[in-house]
Structure 1
C-alpha cells in the first residue's frame, strides 16, 4: 500500500505574530508610554488643525482620592466622544481639568491637623490670622496637587487621550483671577446681594452647603404634637382652645414665631373627654389615674384639620401610658370652618411663662404651602429654619432671631436652652430631640406635649463629606437672585490681557430674571437622554436664590468691600486692581495688608470691611467655561462648548452652576448639548459601599484584565441609566473582547503578504458584494450612533457584525477558499481584498473603544508606521464602498443555513458525523432563494452536498464520498480518502512545478 502524501505544507494557513493571549495588563503601559514619547495628542491636534471644531468642555472631577469606577466610566465616555469626533475628521481637543477648592479637601487637611493634635486656624471672622490661614491653604493646595497627579496617571493608564501636560486647575492663579473677575461682573451689575435666608448648614463643618453638597439618607426621627393656646380670635369658640402643630424637628420649637394655616383647608375644634376611666373600688387604679396624661387634657379643645383628625387622635391615644388600658380618648366637635376664618387669630408660645421672646404673641398666618398630607394642618413657623417659614414671616414683618450658632448650639443668651445649662448641645443631636430630651421634657411639664414618639421614618439631608445631618439655618450670606430683573448695561471687569482678552463684558439687552434666562437656555439645549431636560428644568424652576458664600478658608475669596450699612463697593478701578493682584499672587492676595492699595486714593479704608467668606466651590467650577474656553491659554478651544458630559447628579451641580453663571454674565448657556450618564451599581443592583464590600476598583481591574476591558464594559452598558458591574459581568466583557481580538488576529493572518486592490466590482463574487453591503450599512449606523452619542449601540453593532456576520458566517464559509484556492485564484483574491477593506474599517471603528488593542493591531500590520511615529489614532473614519445587495435574499439564505446547522448538530453530538463536511443535506426547495445552485449551497452551508426536496424540513445523512487529502472536502471526484480533488490537484501541481 502506497503511503499517502501529507499536504499540510501546501495549505495557505493564516500567519501572524499577533498573539491570541492579549496580556493587556503587561502590554498597555508600554503602548501608553510610546504615545507619550511621540506626543500623540499634539500630533493629532496638528493633523486636525483648521478642520471643523467640536468643543468638549471637561467637567472638573474633585482632586481628593483615587479614581473610582464612576470616574472610569465618566472619562471613558468623554474620551469616546472626543476620539469619535476626531475620527470623523473634526478638530476635537480634550483639555482635562480638576476642581481643587472647597470643603472636601479642607476637611481632609483638618483631619491631618486633628491627628497631629495641631490647632486649626481661625478661618473667618475677627479672630482670623492671615499667616495661619495662608499656611493652612498651602497644605490644602499641596493635598489637591498630590491627588491631581495621582488621578492624572491613573487616567492615562485608562487610555484617556488628553492634554495631560496642560490641564486646567481651579487653584491655578489665572483661574482664581477669572473666578474673581466673573464675580465682579455680577457685583458691578448689581446682581449680588447680602441677605439672611435659611440655607442648608452643616454644624460639623460649620458652613453653608449647596444642594449638590448634600445626600439624602433615611432616618428615624421624633415626631411630636404640641398645643399652642389661642388667646385672641374673631371666633369666640376658639379663644382658650389649643391649636395643635405637628413636627419632626422638635429643636425648632424654641424659635417658633407664628402658626400657618391653609386658607382652603377645613378645620375642626374638638373637646377631649375620657371613656372608661372609672377608678371606683380600685385604689391602685385611682392613684394611677391621677397621673394619667388624659386628665390634664380633660375638657380642653384642640384645633386641627378635619381631614387629619383621626390620625391626630391615634397619635395622642398611643402616647397614653401602657398602665391605663381603660383610658380612651373621646372627641366632641365644638367648631368647624375654613382656614380663611382663622385670620386674626393669635396664640401664645407653650413656654410663654419664660417671658421675653416667648411672651410675644404668635399670629396665625395664611400659607399656601400648608397641606393635609400629614400632621395636623397647622404648621409652626420658625423663620430661622425654614424657607417657607422665612418668606411668610418676612411678608408679615417677622424677622429671624439667629438663635442657633455655627456649631449647631443655641446662643449663650438664648432664654430657653441657651447659656451654660448642661442640656446645651447641638440642636441636631438625637438625644436632644428624643421624647425624653430637654425640649420634650419642658413641653411636657408645660402641659403642651400631646404626643411624642421616636418612630417617624423619612428621608433627610446629610453632608456628603462628614455624613452628619444638616440643618436649615438662617445666616447672613451672599446671594445671586433668581427672580429679580438682572442688572443691565455695559460694565468693565478690568480683566488683565494676560488672563485672556476674550473675556469680554456682557451687555444685557433685557430685564429678564436669571430664572427666565436659565429656563430659556434649557429649552435651547439638546439633552441626551431627553429626560435630562425635565430634570434640570424642574430644579431650576423651583430652586431658591443661589447662595455663593461659604464660611471656610480654602477657596476663592468673595472680593467685596462692604460698608457699615451692608452695601458693597462697585468701583471698576478697585475691581481691576483686585483681579490683577489675584492673577499675580492667587487667592492669598485678598488680605488686610493689601486693603488700602486695592481701595486706592478715592476710598478711605476705614469706611469698608473686607469680606472673609469664600465662594461656593460650584461657582468656581461653574465659571471654568470663562477661562478654559474663552482665554488664551488653549487657543484650540472656543466658546460655547458643543458638549458638557457628566453624571446625572450634576443636574443639581456643575450643569446648573455653569448654566446660572453663564446666563447671569452672558445671557445664555455655555453649552449647546448636555449628555448625562447614570450611576454604576454593584452586580446585584445595590449601591456600591465599602462597608458592604461590593465596590469594584478600576485600578485592580486594569491590573487583572486591562484598561481595554474597562473601556469595553463602559461602552457596552446603557450608561444613560444606572448600570452594573461585578466579577461575572467583567468575565462576560472579557469574553466579548476575546472574540473581537480573535477577529483581528484572523484578519492579520489572512492578510499576511497581501498586496492588491479592489478591482472591478462586477467581478467580485456575490457573497463579497453582500458582505460589503453589510459593511456599508454598519458604517452608516455607526456614524449615526456617534451623532446620537449612543455608544452602547455603537459597541453592540460592532460586536454583532464581527461575531455574527464575519466570524460565524463569512469567515466560516471562505476559510476553504483562503486555505486551499490557488494564490492567484480570483475568488481568493476577492476574499482577501474584502478582508483588507474590513481590516481598515474595523480597526478604525474599534480604535475609540479598544484604544490599546487597536494600536497593537495596527502596529502589527504596519510596523513601519510606528517607527515613523504613526498611530491608528491619527487615522480618520474609513472610506467604505457604497455597495448594494439583495439583503432579503441573503437573509432568507442565512435563515436556511441556521436550520441546516441545527439539523446537523444531533448527528455530530451522537458522533454519527464529525463535521458538517460529512453531511449530505436535503432542504425544502421553497426555502431556497433564487440564484443559488446546489453546489453553491453546499459551499455556503459547508456540507458535502445539498439537494432540494419537496418536504418542509431539513434532512441530513452521512455521505459515502471520500475526503480530499488537502482540503478535507468529501466529493464524488475523490477516488479514495487521501486523494486530491480536482482543485487541489491543480494547486499542488503548480506549487510542485515552482518548487522544482
Structure 2
C-alpha cells in the first residue's frame, strides 16, 4: 500500500516548541530599543493615559516585590496603549534619605574615614554616586522584565530640575500658610538621630516595664494619685496627670494610705498589685481637677481633664509628659504647658534631668528610675508587658516621642475656610480606589493623622530653603526668595549642593534685607526635607511640568496608603486644591507558598534575577497576572512550575495555529458569511471571549484574563475546536474551501490571541508577531503598534452558539462512551467507532440539522440515529449514546472507516478527490 503521508497538509513551522526564553528575550529586548519613542510618535493625537510611577528607592538590586509592581504597571500601560490610548510612563527613582547616608557612612568607616572629617558637599557627592549606581543597576533590571517606558529620561529626585521644582512647591505651601514651625513631640529615632514621619514607623511586639506609681497630693496626708506607665523614662518630663471628667473615681484605702483610682479599674488594680483595701469615697473626675501633687522628678503639678483617658488598662489617671506624647502635648497646649523633653538627639538625658540619669539613654534609664522610685517608696508594683510599639522602618530599633522644634505641614491649616484635613478627605471621596476598600484605609489614616513633620536632621536631601534674620529672628520664607534659590539649584550641576556651597549672602537676592528690621545678616536653615515630601511632590515636579494636572493612576503596594499615596495627596491638595490622581490601585505583598514573609533567614526569598535566568521574564510576567494581586501574592518553586506548565499550553496552542498556516496569507482570508458553520461558531465564540477579556482588563482583574485565556487554549481550542479541525486541515486539498475556511479562523485566532496577550506575555507574542508579519507584510514591526481587536456583534451568530453549546454536551457524552470501549480495548481510536444516538428529540433534531458534519464533529467514522451499540451511556438531558465498531474498512489516508462502495481504489471518495486536486494520481 502506498504511503500517503506526503499528500497530507501536515503542520510545519520553525516556531520552536521549546521557548528558550532566557536566551531569546535579550534578542527581543535589543529590537525594542527606542520602541517607546517610536510609539510616542505613532500615537500622537490619541487620548492620553498617565500612570505615574511611584519611585522605588535607589538602594540595592530589585526584589520580587519590585517585579510584581513594575509588571502590573506595564500590563496596564500596554493594555491602554493597545486599546487606542497614548501612554505616558516615565519611570522614577527616590534618591535621597537615610539608608543611602548609612551605606556611605559604612563605606567611609571601612576606609577608616571619619564622616565629620569631610565636608557636607563631599559627603553628598558620595551619596549621589551611590544612588546613581543603583539607579543604573535597577534600570537594567526593570528593562529586563520587558517593561515599556521612557528609560532614557527617567525622573530622579536628585536631579537639579526636580529639586528646584520641590523648592518651588515648598514656597507655595509657605505662601498658602500650610507650613509652620513648632516645638511638639514627633517620632524620633535615637539611633539615626532624626525626626521621622508617620509613614516611616512600623509596629513590632516589644517587652517593656509595667509599673504603678503613687504621686502624693499636696497638703493631703497619705493620699496619692496612682498612675500606670510602660515608659518609666518619661517620668522626669512629667508635667501633670489627666483624668476623664465624667468617669467615677474612688478613694481606695490600703492600710494607712489612700489611693485615687478609677472605680471601673479597682478589680484590675487589686489583681495586678495584690493590694487589698476598701473604697472610702467616690467622686467624679471633674472633682479632682486642679488638685496638686508632688511630681516624682520636679515641682508641683496639677490634675487636668482629657478626652484621651480610657478605662481599658491602668488606673484611669494618666501621667502626662507633653514633650513625649502626642495626646499629652495636645492637652498641655490647651492649658499652657510648654512641652519639655530633657533628652538629646541620641536619646541621652541632659539637664535639668536628675543627676543620676544624665548621659544615660532612655531605654537604659528605665531600670534606674524603677530602682529610684522603689527606694523612695513611690513604687506600688513592677512587672513587664509585651505590646505593639513603634520602631524605625530603616534601622528597626524602637523610636521615642520627643519634643523638638521642627517644620510641619499643618493638617489644621485652612484654605477657603476648610482645613487641609477636610480638603484631603473630600478629595479622597472623588478618587476611584482599587480594590474599593482602599478608601476606608486611607480615610481613617487622614482623619487621625497628626501634622506632617517635614524636617530632617541629615545631610542627603533637599534643604528647607528658609533663612532666619540674625537680628530679629524673622523667618525669611518669601516667594521671591524661594524662586531665587530654585533658579540657583536648577542651574547648578549638582542642584541643591549649591545651598551647602554658598553663603547666605550668595544665596539670597542681591541687596536683600530683612523685611521686619532691615538687617542683612541671615542664618540659613540646616535641616533637609523629609523624603516623603521629595516623592510626594513628584506630581508637580514631573507631571505638571509637562502640562499634566492629574495622573489617571497611581499604583503601589498597600503600605503606601500611609506613604506615597498620602504624601502626594496632602502636598497636591495643599498646593493645588486637588488630588494628584484619578484612581489608585494597590497590590499585596509577596510571600512564600506558606504565606510567610520572604526573608534570608527563612531561606524562602525568590529572586527575580534567578527566575529570569532560569525560566525567562515571561514566566515571571505570567505569574504576576495569574495571581489575585489584591491579596498577598504567593511565590515558590511549585507555583512557578504550575506557571511554566500553563505557559507551555499557551505556547503550544500558538505553535499549532502557526504550523497550520504555513501556506496561508492575509489574501486567503474568507469573509465571515462564506465560512463553514463550525468556523462561524468559533468566530462567534471569539467575540464573546474578547468581550470578557476587555471587561476584565478594564477592571484590572488580570487573574481573570489569565484564567479565560488558559482555559480557552486548553479546553475550547485544544480539546475541541482544533481537535475537530485536524481532519479538515490535513486531508482536504491545500486551497480547498473547507481548509481555507478553517485557516481563516486560525489566522483570526492567532492574531487575536497574540494581541490580547501582548500586555503580559510580551516577549513571546513579539516572537509570534514576526511569523504573523510574514502572512501580512502590511503589519507594523512590533505587536505594540497594533490594537487589541474589539468584539464585533455582527460576527456573533446566536443560533450557532445555542446549537453548539448543546452539541458540545452531546460530544462529551460520546467521548464517555468511546472511553469505555477503549478501556476494554474494544477500539483503539475514535475513528474505529460507529455511534448510535437516541432519546431526547431536541438533540436528535439538532443532529439531523448538522448531519453532514456530525461525524467529523464527534470525531467518529459513522453516526446513526437509532438504538444500538455495546457500550451505552445516558446523559442528564436524556440522550442515549451507544458505541460499536465502525463498518467497512479504514482509509489509509484519513483513517476514517467507509463502506466498500465509498472507495476509489485504495482511498475513500473524499481523499481521492483531494489527491486529484493536488495533481496526483490515486
TM range (shorter): over 0.9
Distance 1:67 1:592, change over 3 A: closer
Deviates more, 1:719-728 or 1:610-619: 719-728
- Which residue pairs with 2:870 in the alignment? none
- Which residue pairs with 1:451 in the alignment? 381
Q: Is the 8 A contact 2:688 2:791 kept in 1?
A: no
Deviations 1:364-387 (A, max 9, x none): 111111111222222111111110
Q: CA deviation at 1:567?
A: 4.1
Q: CA deviation at 1:949?
A: 5.7
Q: CA deviation at 1:31?
A: 0.8
Distance 1:958 1:451, change over 3 A: farther
- Which residue pairs with 1:716 in the alignment? 626
Q: Find runs of 4+ consecutive structure 1 residues off by over 6 angstroms.
A: 864-869, 974-978
Q: Is the 8 A contact 1:75 1:160 kept in 2?
A: yes
Asked if 1:225 is matched to 2:212, the reply is yes
Deviations 1:187-243 (A, max 9, x none): 2233211101111111110001112212221222221111112226xxxxx763222
- Which residue pairs with 2:180 in the alignment? 193
Give, in whole Å, the separation in 2 of the partners of 1:793 and 1:246.
54
Asked if 1:464 is matched to 2:390, the reply is no
- Which residue pairs with 2:480 in the alignment? 573
Q: Pick one of 494, 500, 505 that aligns with 1:596.
A: 505
Aligned with 2:414: secondary structure?
coil
Q: Pick one of 297, 305, 308 that aligns with 2:265.
A: 308
Give, in whole Å, the separation in 2 of the partners of 1:864 and 1:106.
57
Deviations 1:340-396 (A, max 9, x none): 222222222234xxxxxx1x2221111111111222222111111110000101111
Distance 1:385 1:931, change over 3 A: same
Q: CA deviation at 1:975?
A: 8.2
Asked if 1:440 is matched to 2:370, the reply is yes
Q: Is the 8 A contact 1:964 1:977 kept in 2?
A: no
Q: CA deviation at 1:25?
A: 0.6
Asked if 1:794 is matched to 2:740, the reply is no
Aligned with 1:562: secondary structure?
strand
Give, in whole Å, the separation in 1 of the partners of 2:904 and 2:353.
106
- Which residue pairs with 2:893 in the alignment? 966
Q: CA deviation at 1:150?
A: 0.2
Give, in whole Å, the separation in 1 of the partners of 2:888 and 2:192.
86
Asked if 1:932 is matched to 2:889, the reply is no
Aligned with 1:5: secondary structure?
coil
Give, in whole Å, the separation in 1 of the partners of 2:42 and 2:693.
23
- Which residue pairs with 2:26 in the alignment? 29
Distance 1:384 1:949, change over 3 A: farther
Give, in whole Å, the separation in 2 of the partners of 1:962 and 1:440.
101
Aligned with 1:805: secondary structure?
helix
Give, in whole Å, the separation in 2 of the partners of 1:758 and 1:973.
37
Q: CA deviation at 1:919?
A: 3.1
Give the alignment of 1:329-368 within 5 angstroms. 329-351=275-297, 358=298, 360-368=299-307
- Which residue pairs with 2:724 in the alignment? 813
Q: Pick one of 614, 631, 636 that aligns with 2:528.
A: 614
Q: CA deviation at 1:606?
A: 5.4
Q: CA deviation at 1:696?
A: 0.7
- Which residue pairs with 1:743 in the alignment? 653
- Which residue pairs with 1:139 in the alignment? 126
Aligned with 2:278: secondary structure?
strand
Give, in whole Å, the separation in 2 of the partners of 1:842 and 1:163.
27
Q: CA deviation at 1:992?
A: 4.7
Q: CA deviation at 1:179?
A: 0.6
Distance 1:676 1:974, change over 3 A: farther
Give, in whole Å, the separation in 2 of the partners of 1:241 and 1:908.
96
Q: CA deviation at 1:835?
A: 1.0
- Which residue pairs with 2:11 in the alignment? 14
**TM-score, normalised relative to structure 1:** 0.87
Give unpaired runs (5+ residues) of structure 1: 123-130, 233-237, 273-297, 318-328, 352-357, 487-509
Deviations 1:784-839 (A, max 9, x none): 22322222222222222222221221111111111112223322211111111111
Distance 1:200 1:930, change over 3 A: farther
- Which residue pairs with 1:520 in the alignment? 426
Q: Is the 8 A contact 2:890 2:898 kept in 1?
A: yes
Give, in whole Å, the separation in 2 of the partners of 1:141 and 1:79.
28
Distance 1:438 1:819, change over 3 A: same
Q: CA deviation at 1:891?
A: 2.1
Give the alignment of 1:471-482 within 5 angstroms. 471-482=400-411
Distance 1:616 1:910, change over 3 A: farther
Q: Is the 8 A contact 1:644 1:674 kept in 2?
A: yes
Distance 1:925 1:768, change over 3 A: farther
Deviates more, 1:106-115 or 1:752-761: 752-761
Aligned with 2:302: secondary structure?
strand
Q: CA deviation at 1:20?
A: 0.5
Give the alignment of 1:402-801 within 5 angstroms. 402-419=341-358, 424-429=359-364, 432-433=365-366, 437-454=367-384, 456-486=385-415, 510-563=416-469, 567-585=474-492, 586-591=495-500, 593-599=502-508, 600-603=510-513, 607-631=521-545, 635=546, 638-755=548-665, 756-801=667-712
Distance 1:341 1:667, change over 3 A: same
Give, in whole Å, the separation in 2 of the partners of 1:946 and 1:453.
86
Q: Is the 8 A contact 2:177 2:413 kept in 1?
A: no
Give, in whole Å, the separation in 2 of the partners of 1:794 and 1:188.
49
Q: CA deviation at 1:943?
A: 2.2
Distance 1:369 1:981, change over 3 A: same
Aligned with 1:558: secondary structure?
coil
Q: CA deviation at 1:266?
A: 2.4
Aligned with 2:148: secondary structure?
coil
Distance 1:868 1:40, change over 3 A: farther
Asked if 1:921 is matched to 2:835, the reply is yes
- Which residue pairs with 2:319 in the alignment? 380
Deviations 1:452-503 (A, max 9, x none): 222x2222221121111111111110011111214xxxxxxxxxxxxxxxxx
Deviates more, 1:823-832 or 1:172-181: 823-832
Q: Pick one of 885, 896, 900 that aligns with 2:814.
A: 900
Deviations 1:491-523 (A, max 9, x none): xxxxxxxxxxxxxxxxxxx23221121111111
Give the alignment of 1:65-214 within 5 angstroms. 65-121=60-116, 132-214=119-201
Aligned with 1:54: secondary structure?
strand
Aligned with 1:559: secondary structure?
coil
Distance 1:911 1:198, change over 3 A: farther
Give, in whole Å, the separation in 2 of the partners of 1:856 and 1:447.
82
Give the superposed CA RMSD. 2.3
Give, in whole Å, the separation in 2 of the partners of 1:534 and 1:973.
76
- Which residue pairs with 1:126 in the alignment? none
Q: CA deviation at 1:81?
A: 1.2
Q: CA deviation at 1:602?
A: 3.2
- Which residue pairs with 1:870 in the alignment? 781
Give unpaired runs (5+ residues) of structure 2: 868-873
Q: CA deviation at 1:960?
A: 4.9
Q: CA deviation at 1:306?
A: 2.1
**Number of positions where the alignment pairs a residue of Structure 1 with one of Structure 2:** 897
Q: Pick one of 965, 984, 989 that aligns with 2:916.
A: 989
Deviations 1:709-761 (A, max 9, x none): 00011111111221211110011011111111111101111111203454443
Deviations 1:521-545 (A, max 9, x none): 1111111111111111111111111
- Which residue pairs with 1:498 in the alignment? none
Q: Is the 8 A contact 1:20 1:742 kept in 2?
A: yes
Distance 1:868 1:913, change over 3 A: closer
Q: CA deviation at 1:56?
A: 1.5
